Structure 1
C-alpha cells in the first residue's frame, strides 16, 4: 500500500488563487512529490498551501480535465499513472522540437531580455539548492516555456507545456536529498550564457543533452538510481 509522502509548498498568495494552486499542484505531480496510488483530499492539500479547500478543489478539477488526476468520489483526487513508454515518447517529442527551436530563436532574443532570463535561471538554481522541488519545477517550466515563446508559435508552446505537465520525474526527491540538483540547475545559467554570446548551435546541443539527462536520470525512482550509482 502506498504511503503518503511529505512535501514542501510555500504559502500561496491569494491572487489568481485557482491558477496559482493548479501550477503548484502540477509541479508537485511532475516532481513525484504527489504520487500515484495515494488519494489526496482538498482540505489536507489546502492546509499545506495555507488556503481553504475551495481553490484546491477548483484547481484539481482543472487537472482532471488535463488527465493529471482522477476524482475519487467522496474521498479526493488520485494522481494519474503514466507508463515508462509514454514518458519515453514524450521525451522523444521534446528532443525533436525544443533544441532546434531554441537554436532558431537565439538570434532574435533581445539583449535587454538577458538579465530577465538570467534571473529566471538563477531562480532554478536557488530552488534546487534549497531542495524545494515544487518551486524548482515551477521555475524550470517558466524558463523553458519563456524561451519557446520567442518563436511566436503558440501551438508549439502549448504542446510542450502539456508534455511537461504529463511527465513524471520520480528521482528528483532522491537527487535533492543528495544535493545533486544544483549541477543540473546550473545548466540553465549556461544556456543564458550561450544566448548572450549568440552561440545558437551550442545552445541547441545543451538543450538536447538537458532533456536527455532529465529523462535518463531524473525520471528514475530512488531505488533505480542507487542501483546504477
Structure 2
C-alpha cells in the first residue's frame, strides 16, 4: 500500500537533475495585488539577504518549471501557503521528482512557487524533522538517500503495529462501519488504475489511517501514518518504482480485506493483512 508518486513543484530519479512536471503542481502562483506585491518585495529582499548570509547557492541547481496556474483552483492564501507547499514537496518526494542526493535551495523553489523563500524553508525544515531531507549548511536541503534495508525495516515495524490492531478490530467492529471505508478503497483502486503513484500514495495512506482510527488511539494513528509516509519515499539503487499493475494488485488487496472484515472471516483477515505487509519487504 505504498510507494507511489509530484512537485509541480507537487517521476523517477537518476544522475541527471529531476524533471518536475508542472501538471501535478498543487500550489498555483499567488495573485499579486498591490499590498501583496509590496510584502513580496520585502520578502524577496529578505530572501536574498538571508540566502547571501547562509550561502544558499542557486546557480548550479536544475531548472524547475514554473507552476501552471489553473483557474479552477483557488489562489493560495498566505495563511495556508506553507501547508500547501509542504504537501506539494511531500508528493514530489513520493513521485521521485525531488531526487535522492540532490540539493535544493529554498530561494529557487520559492521562486518557482511564486512565494518567498520563507514558507519553503519552513516546509523543508519540517521534512528534515521527518527524515526526508537533511540540512546542508550554506547550500539548502539534500534529499536523503535510502536503501532497501530501510524499506524492509519500516515494513516490519508497520506490521508489528498494524496487524494486531486490525485483527482486534475484526472481532469488534460491526459490518456497517467497515462498509463506510469502501469509498476510500475504491478511490485507491481508481488511482491505481490511472497509474498515478502520487495519488495512489495519498489514497493508500487514507485507507490505512481510517482503519486504524477505529481503534480510538490517536498516538497509534500518528506513528503509523509517519511510518507509512516514510515507506513511500523513493529508494537509491532499489527496485524499479511500482507500476500500474503493481498498484492495482495492491488496491485489490484493500477491497479483499474489507470484504473479509465485513464478513468477520478472521482467518482470512489474518492471512490478507499479513500478506499485505509481506509484500512491502
- Asked if TM exceeds 0.5, the reply is yes
Shift of the alpha carbon at 1:69? 0.8
Distance in structure 2 (CA, Å) of the matches to 1:40 and 1:119: 37
Match of 1:163 in 2: 227
Match of 1:189 in 2: 255
Matched, 1:67 2:80: no
Shift of the alpha carbon at 1:20? 4.3
Matched, 1:207 2:207: no
Match of 2:51 in 1: none
Match of 2:82 in 1: 18
2:115 maps to which of 45, 48, 52: 52
Matched, 1:198 2:264: yes
Change (3 A) 1:146 1:24: farther
Match of 1:78 in 2: 142
Change (3 A) 1:75 1:123: farther
Output one character per residue of 1:143-191: Cα deviation in whole Å (capped at 9) or x when no partner: 1122112122233222222222322454786432x64421222211112
Q: Is the contact between residue 188 and residue 203 of structure 2 (CA under 8 Å) also seen in structure 1?
A: yes
Moved more, 36-45 or 122-131: 36-45
- Consecutive unaligned residues of structure 2, counting only runs of 5 or more, are 1-13, 28-73
Give the RMSD, CA atoms, in angstroms. 3.0
Distance in structure 2 (CA, Å) of the matches to 1:31 and 1:173: 12
Distance in structure 2 (CA, Å) of the matches to 1:195 and 1:210: 14
- Consecutive unaligned residues of structure 1, counting only runs of 5 or more, are 216-229
Distance in structure 1 (CA, Å) of the matches to 2:278 and 2:173: 25
Q: Is the contact between residue 105 and residue 139 of structure 2 (CA under 8 Å) also seen in structure 1?
A: yes
Change (3 A) 1:197 1:17: farther
Distance in structure 1 (CA, Å) of the matches to 2:98 and 2:127: 13
Change (3 A) 1:202 1:69: same
| Higher gyration radius (CA) | 2
Distance in structure 2 (CA, Å) of the matches to 1:120 and 1:96: 23
1:1-229 alignment runs, 5 A limit = 2-6=15-19, 9-12=24-27, 14=76, 16-30=80-94, 32-42=96-106, 52=115, 54-73=118-137, 75-167=139-231, 168-170=233-235, 174-176=241-243, 179-215=245-281
State the SS of the aligned residue for 2:279: helix
Q: Is the contact between residue 3 and residue 38 of structure 1 (CA under 8 Å) also seen in structure 2?
A: no
Change (3 A) 1:187 1:72: same
| TM-score, normalised relative to structure 2 | 0.63
Output one character per residue of 1:35-91: Cα deviation in whole Å (capped at 9) or x when no partner: 31112344665688x663554333222111222112334544221123433332222
Q: Is the contact between residue 174 and residue 262 of structure 2 (CA under 8 Å) also seen in structure 1?
A: no
Count of residues in Structure 1 that have an aligned counterpart in Structure 2: 213
Shift of the alpha carbon at 1:138? 1.3
Change (3 A) 1:104 1:40: same
